[in-house]
Amino acid sequence: MNYQEILAQYADKPGGMIEAFHAIQEKLNYLPQEVIIEAARVFDKPVAQAFGVATFYSMFSTQPRGKYVIRICESAPCHVAGAAEVVAALEQELGISMGESTADGLFTLEFTECVGQCQATPVITINGAPYLDVTPARVAGIIMACK
């Protein structure tokens, strides 16, 4: 994947850096440091500003992540509905803690804020797709379906 070509596609668009970062992250699942530095050059911005964009938005990651990014909502409704128990089940099933990735590069666990599905809590997303009313008992099946 040639990230320079992707950056060039968005160079003249308003908000182009964010769009380019989305496109690159879709390919790599994170934004490597060299991509952010090159984006600063392409968009004629200070490197610190490009890093600011890459680190401000929660949907971007500057660290390598797994093929499947599992995010669990940590808002009050999900918390009250048992999100902590779902987190424990995810960590046990995958053998990692929140914020980590599995050694095989398949899964990453992250927290997120509300995903707008409060009618069916707790909620997890996998690569943006919501899973509603998640219970610890459902975790193994959800993980298996990804494999």
Q: Give 24-76 pLDDT, tens digit per residue.
A: 998 888 999 999 999 999 999 999 999 999 999 878 999 999 999 999 988 99
Measured distance CA(145)–CA(14) in Å, rounded: 39
Residues β-bridged to residue 125: 71, 130
Look at the alpha carbons of 104, 35, 126, 10 in this order and tell me if their dihedral is positive or negative.
Answer: negative
Burial string for 7-34 (b: 16+ CB within 10 Å, else e) reads: beebeeeeebbbebbebbbeeebbbbee
Average pLDDT over residues 2-16: 92
Percent of the chain with pLDDT over 90: 82
pLDDT above 70 coverage of the chain, percent? 99
pLDDT of residue 84: 95
In residues, how long is the chain?
147
- With beta carbons less than 8 A apart as the criterion, state whether 123 and 73 touch: yes
